[in-house]
Amino acid sequence: MTNFVPTPSVPAPDIVRCAYLELVVTDLAKSRAFYVDLLGLHVTEEDEDTIYLRSLEEFIHHNLVLRKGPVAAAAAFAYRVKSPAEVDAAEAYYRELGCRVERRKEGFTKGIGDSVRVEDPLGFPYEFFYEVEHVERLTQRYDLYSAGELVRLDHFNQVTPDVPRGRAYLEDLGFRVSEDIKDSDGVTYAAWMHRKQTVHDTALTGGNGPRLHHLAFATHEKHNIIQICDKMGALRVSDRIERGPGRHGVSNAFYLYILDPDDHRIEIYTQDYYTGDPDNPTITWDVHDNQRRDWWGNPVVPSWYTEASLVLDLDGNPQPVTVREEKSEMAVTVGADGFSYTRRNDDDGGRGGAVEGFKLGAQL
Amino acid sequence: MTNFVPTPSVPAPDIVRCAYLELVVTDLAKSRAFYVDLLGLHVTEEDEDTIYLRSLEEFIHHNLVLRKGPVAAAAAFAYRVKSPAEVDAAEAYYRELGCRVERRKEGFTKGIGDSVRVEDPLGFPYEFFYEVEHVERLTQRYDLYSAGELVRLDHFNQVTPDVPRGRAYLEDLGFRVSEDIKDSDGVTYAAWMHRKQTVHDTALTGGNGPRLHHLAFATHEKHNIIQICDKMGALRVSDRIERGPGRHGVSNAFYLYILDPDDHRIEIYTQDYYTGDPDNPTITWDVHDNQRRDWWGNPVVPSWYTEASLVLDLDGNPQPVTVREEKSEMAVTVGADGFSYTRRNDDDGGRGGAVEGFKLGAQL
Amino acid sequence: MTNFVPTPSVPAPDIVRCAYLELVVTDLAKSRAFYVDLLGLHVTEEDEDTIYLRSLEEFIHHNLVLRKGPVAAAAAFAYRVKSPAEVDAAEAYYRELGCRVERRKEGFTKGIGDSVRVEDPLGFPYEFFYEVEHVERLTQRYDLYSAGELVRLDHFNQVTPDVPRGRAYLEDLGFRVSEDIKDSDGVTYAAWMHRKQTVHDTALTGGNGPRLHHLAFATHEKHNIIQICDKMGALRVSDRIERGPGRHGVSNAFYLYILDPDDHRIEIYTQDYYTGDPDNPTITWDVHDNQRRDWWGNPVVPSWYTEASLVLDLDGNPQPVTVREEKSEMAVTVGADGFSYTRRNDDDGGRGGAVEGFKLGAQL
Amino acid sequence: MTNFVPTPSVPAPDIVRCAYLELVVTDLAKSRAFYVDLLGLHVTEEDEDTIYLRSLEEFIHHNLVLRKGPVAAAAAFAYRVKSPAEVDAAEAYYRELGCRVERRKEGFTKGIGDSVRVEDPLGFPYEFFYEVEHVERLTQRYDLYSAGELVRLDHFNQVTPDVPRGRAYLEDLGFRVSEDIKDSDGVTYAAWMHRKQTVHDTALTGGNGPRLHHLAFATHEKHNIIQICDKMGALRVSDRIERGPGRHGVSNAFYLYILDPDDHRIEIYTQDYYTGDPDNPTITWDVHDNQRRDWWGNPVVPSWYTEASLVLDLDGNPQPVTVREEKSEMAVTVGADGFSYTRRNDDDGGRGGAVEGFKLGAQL
């Protein structure tokens, strides 16, 4: 029985968008090679312990902070709110929820002003801020435009054991659900939730949590993503490509998942759709629809379901991970009785089960 | 010990390029739905038993003949030669080789004139012709240009047990090797061979044969191939996507393998490189290089190694299949002792073996 | 001296986005050939007098209404508001402005419910609605995806004599300015204004008005726009390509302008940037920056500055056109004393003036 | 009356392809900035006076030599031949033609061996060589792959007064004509001629000559060319974009023309078609077809017709330029009586003449 997060009596802060993630990495030089040399993110500022990175079209100080630390983890999921007053609103909101809250007028990272950080009811370190240092927006700096250029931060993805509980909490916080994955027993496996007018600012993936599933950057076109794969091949790090490239069923975006030197997962993502209308239709996918995760039916590797990054509390210690009690998406989408399908009643002969088999079974 | 095909004393016919394939299909309507409705090939002519198809930029009558028959198979691998006299040369060449040869002044298919068909030393039905009916080249008919448009026939791929034997025979026939896959014991697993100035007009894949591994069409750009995947998803036939899309190591082309209703394999392929110089460097890949078949290290599905189409003799009966005696590429690239690698001496910690594992092991 | 529109005391309606345009066309069959056969918009509904069209990713009934009539003109610029109550707000707002207002519970077009239409202070027929019939969103119908697919309605562009006046009025209405074009004398030549999180929902172009400058649809990628050009070439209607393709300076989007059979101008547009933050930086371009309209410095054809479509009043009669009194962008960006420049102080020899000449002077 | 070049009695050398151009430039640093920093060509070798450049997929030493000199000009159009013996054949061929011939066993440039240079009957400095230093082919070096990467040398384009004379000479030399532009009076304005299996290795453009019209490099896809434009915009050198981007009628390639610091014209080009069959259809365009030079009907700037680079004799002195006596393409495609057309009998009302006017008349 889901133990829902109570709805506060005070208004939720008015969130604009996901704005940056703070990651703890264990070897800053290796991480720099990955995010700057390989992926081409732009360095706003850096010192011995920290690198502040942004995507091409960003005008705020950073979308990603890499901070050197002993244990690889996500230290903050930061959202921008609509005005300075909304930082107050965020503080009041989480105080009423009984969460641990820390307010810093000078910000928690360089380039950001008055901010509040909380340990939210799902165990994630959330940050809310408005004040920020504007930096050069590189949109038309085509002299800096690499073949695999990352142009925007797109979204976070969080692993949490109880998706309906997390979803209700985020809906209270003003997020709207664009898509989800369910089964006929009413189990929810994942949900995509947005503030800005895309498919998501964050998503909840059912699993042992709280953990960071991934952070996603957007490119302009599909070939930019293919170039990232090609470059990883050229650098002989193709084993750091975890999954894809492919077309998502959910979100319709073209995607790629790669792993940084600490196994933090990065998605490269392009071309989802507009969700800004108040009655934007929510799409529910059947967990047994073999095209939900990959529109082309390509298999999801197990690590994608099982691996994720720890998250930190406000003291910088890893949050304990709670095991998901409900069915796992990985478990229900494979096995003798639980085969996924492309066509529900496939009776046209052909390779029949064998065909389904190769989409689902052992791969070389 | 390889029993090489003797080199004839008469000159080999001067081959221009692979020109068309004749396929026997068991359900013409289903095949039409695949090749015309799904893939958008252009119908030059059709009747109750046969459909003649061509790619957008083709000016000869067809690149693919679909002929209704009882057993799905490849009936002819047809090459265009440089002049009418070269058809005579082909006849003489194969007669000296002691092959069964059939000459038809009126051609074996509509739209083609004087031709010779042979059962070649590897057991394949090869055809050589020069005379052909010119048809409208649709190059600038952008009003007919679909989002996944196939613009050229690119190559054949043949399965044969003894690759060095087949390679020497094709080199005698004037083909040049652009790339191959070998191991340190001297085993050849595959070879790519060309007449036109691309990576191949045909390739030899080591395996039980003679069989047709696949037929490949080219698109202009990579997004055209992605659209074919997307369309197969929309039509809910994603289980007919066998492998890809991906970037080949060999050839450097962007690729996709899909299966027609008879399980004939079709590759969609784009952007290999120029091979027209006489000293074009041959690239030899180590069979243990995990990026040889897919530059991004994505796994090759077993069916891709094991399944292929029968080929017919000149009477229309399937050729018996001979088992490959040498090591199989599938067998040597997986298993406790034969793991493929991306980096030979991976000592940088990270996920280590686990990472290699997920690129090579079980997939959901 | 600008005679500003007064700011009403009641709140402005909360506008979500530009939603559809109603166009009067003189030959419905020719217009259908243009919008459906050439551009591939999807027909939601049609009868003898009217065609309702939508883009691929749209879920409301239509983005474009083509209505047969005696005089080619724009009959309505329709915005979607956030809730039914906002239609009331729109009605109150314009009544206080003293505008002519018409409210129809059953809507002005099929598929739309309770709406208000007004003759706004600039003379444009604006519509505000919330209720709408949802239709199939074709986002993943890749079986219907053409090579030049239009996926979203992007924006309107309106010609008005006094841009600062129009801009202040639209800012009161809740629009925010993303970019504008000015000169050092303080003249504003154009302004781009948005509600949704893109560069614009509508733009004001200084000129004789009120007139419709163009309506814009978005594609996913740049090659989709190139395909539309290629197809117009194949159909031998390349003379209906007015300007482009090119890269805008303003908005950074890749663009094309084409003309429908009534000379209504359609823009095809892709890849502008996110503007959703409250402090999104406004970009001001110097009218003498030769890259403002085309980032590559390609010339703007005179017709693009001078031609536009009439707009109708609520009785269906064309609104009279008022002449712009301020300097025209066309006039100030050409001529002996007013040459545009790429580099202000070009002293590197080369072709010098000749180079500037060919970018600005006579074209074959 | 054309004074044709005699056909030698000895066989023509067997040419493989256009291989490199030697350009004299007046400021090596500026040229390096253009070819290396802007265009991303790869430096094989360089010293104070000379830079040797190659495209990504090249395996011979260079495709372009930039040599510092007092007068900007083209010093050699170099073709690779099929074997060392063909260099002898070239020498004999041109000696019989009575041309000035110079043979150097050590080559004329670094990286090239035994070569012959001639002042050919049209006045161009042609070179023929086989021996060459192989260098690293960067095809899969995606770590070096820029967003506007040039992957192959595609062709030369030469200006000559008498196109039929030049064409017959090049046909004797083994070139085949893929396309040409003529009028109903039998005047030939241009011809495209190939050895490799693309539309051309060189083209003849009718005009005052001998001069170099341009040198062309190929990209993989169209977006690579757009990136080059975008980058030139970012570097504020958009005035060095002379024409395009666009789609050629002739060749069907997507193209762009830009100017180097000495006004040498460079074309960036992608996606023409296969021409390797012996009976590849020759396409003749009517000079009055407004889509011949640009499939979208965009105007050709006058400089593109009139400007070109000098070529040098074997002493390094500029060849004198002979004026074309026949009609000029520029002259016949504009003017009161010679308007180009998209549709020959345009009777569908619309903007009529005005529409044609804006495609052909004055541009801002």
- The phi-psi region of residue D354 (left if phi > 0; otherwise alpha if psi is between -120 and 50; otherwise beta) is alpha
What element of type H or E holds C332?
A: helix C329-332
Query: Looking at the predicted structure, is the pLDDT value of residue D17 above 90?
Result: yes
Chain segment A263-295, per-residue pLDDT in tens: 999 999 999 999 999 999 999 999 999 999 999
* Low pLDDT (below 50) residues in chain C: 336-338, 346-364
Report how far apart, in Å, the C-alpha atoms of D181 and of each of A174, B136, B137, D175, D230 are: 64, 20, 19, 17, 31
Crossing angle of helices B222-234/A222-234, nearest 10°?
A: 110
Backbone angles phi, psi at A26, to 5 degrees: -95, -20
Chain segment D70-80, per-residue pLDDT in tens: 999 999 999 99
ipTM confidence: 0.94
Q: What is the pLDDT of residue A193?
A: 98
In angstroms, how far is CA D18 from the centroid of its own chain?
Answer: 10
Query: Looking at the predicted structure, is the pLDDT value of residue A352 above 70?
Result: no
Q: What is the average pLDDT value for chain B, to the nearest integer? A: 93
Q: What is the rounded average pLDDT of the residues B190-205?
A: 98
Report how far apart, in Å, the C-alpha atoms of D187 and of each of D115, D193, D293, D300 are: 36, 17, 17, 20
Chain A residues whose CB is inside 8 A of the B350 CB are 259, 261, 263
Task: Break chain D down into helix, strand, coil percent, rounded to 5.
Answer: 20, 35, 45
Chain A residues whose CB is inside 8 A of the D140 CB are 230, 233-234
Which chain B residues in 256-285 lie under 8 Å from chain A, judged by CB atoms? 259, 261, 263
Q: What is the rounded average pLDDT of the residues B299-314?
A: 96
List strand residue ranges (DSSP E) for C111-187, in order. Answer: 115-119, 125-129, 152-160, 176-182
Q: Hey, are the CB atoms on B59 and D274 less than 8 Å from each other?
A: no
Q: What is the pLDDT of residue A360?
A: 39
Report the distance separating Cα D23 and Cα D62, nearest Å: 12
The tokens of D246 are what? 């666009």
List strand residue ranges (DSSP E) for B183-263, in order. Answer: 188-194, 202-206, 211-218, 241-247, 254-259
Identity of residue A258: I
Crossing angle of helices D222-234/C222-234, nearest 10°?
A: 110
Report the distance separating Cα B20 and Cα D347, nearest Å: 44
Q: Shortest Cα distance from D13 to chain B (angstroms)? A: 15
Q: What is the pLDDT of residue A333?
A: 86
Based on the number of CB atoms within 10 Å of its own CB, is B344 exposed (0-12), middle (13-18) or buried (19 or more)? exposed
Chain segment B136-168, per-residue pLDDT in tens: 999 999 999 999 999 999 999 999 999 999 999
Q: What is the average pLDDT value for chain A, to the nearest integer? A: 93
Q: How many helices (H) and strands (E) does chain B have?
A: 7, 18
Report the distance separating Cα C107 and Cα C120, nearest Å: 18
Tell whether A338 is within 8 A of chain B (Cβ): no
pLDDT-wise least confident of A116-125, A202-211, B61-70, D335-344: D335-344
| A100 in Cβ contact with A118 (< 8 Å) | yes
Q: Give the residue on C whose Cα is nearest the Cα of A58.
A: C274
Query: Looking at the predicted structure, is the pLDDT value of residue D360 above 90?
Result: no
Chain segment A133-177, per-residue pLDDT in tens: 999 999 999 999 999 999 999 999 999 999 999 999 999 999 999
Residue to test with chain B: of D273, D280, D291, most B Cβ within 10 A: D273
pLDDT tier for residue B100 given thresholds of 50, 70 and 90: very high
Q: Hey, are the CB atoms on B297 and A239 less than 8 Å from each other?
A: yes
pLDDT tier for residue A235 given thresholds of 50, 70 and 90: very high
Query: Looking at the predicted structure, is the pLDDT value of residue B351 above 90?
Result: no
Residue to test with chain B: of A250, A263, A285, A363, most B Cβ within 10 A: A363
- Chains contacting C (3+ CB pairs below 8 angstroms): A, B, D
The tokens of C170 are what? 């639209």
The number of residues making up chain B comes to 364
The tokens of A261 are what? 């030197």
* SS3 assignment, position B174: coil
Cβ neighbours of residue B215 closer than 8 Å, sequence gap 6 or more: B21, B23, B64, B153, B155, B156, B157, B264, B265, B266, B267
Chain segment A298-322, per-residue pLDDT in tens: 989 999 999 999 999 999 999 999 9
Q: Shortest Cα distance from B225 to chain C (angstroms)? A: 12
Query: Looking at the predicted structure, is the pLDDT value of residue D344 above 90?
Result: no
Tell whether C349 is within 8 A of chain D (Cβ): no
Query: Looking at the predicted structure, is the pLDDT value of residue B80 above 70?
Result: yes
The number of residues making up chain D comes to 364
Percent of chain B with pLDDT strictly greater than 90: 90
Q: Hey, are the CB atoms on A141 and D234 less than 8 Å from each other?
A: yes
Residue carrying the six token digits 């303080």: C186
* Beta-carbon-side half-sphere exposure of residue D59 (alpha carbons within 13 Å): 16
Chain C residues whose CB is inside 8 A of the A249 CB are 140
Please, what sign has the CA dihedral across residues C158, C159, C160, C163? positive
Chain segment B218-255, per-residue pLDDT in tens: 999 999 999 999 999 999 999 999 999 999 999 999 99
Tell whether D222 is within 8 A of chain B (Cβ): yes
Residue to test with chain A: of C60, C79, C277, C296, most A Cβ within 10 A: C277
Q: Hey, are the CB atoms on C278 and A82 less than 8 Å from each other?
A: yes
Q: What is the pLDDT of residue B340?
A: 60
**Model confidence, pTM:** 0.96
Q: What is the pLDDT of residue C352?
A: 34
pLDDT tier for residue B336 given thresholds of 50, 70 and 90: very low
Cβ neighbours of residue B232 closer than 8 Å, sequence gap 6 or more: A296, B38, B238, B240, B241, B258
Q: What is the pLDDT of residue B358?
A: 36
Higher pLDDT: A95 or A348? It is A95
Chain C residues whose CB is inside 8 A of the A14 CB are none
Q: What is the pLDDT of residue C345?
A: 53
Higher pLDDT: B360 or D143? It is D143
pLDDT tier for residue A198 given thresholds of 50, 70 and 90: very high
Residue carrying the six token digits 């949050």: A319
Q: Hey, are the CB atoms on C145 and B147 less than 8 Å from each other?
A: yes
The tokens of C12 are what? 């402005």
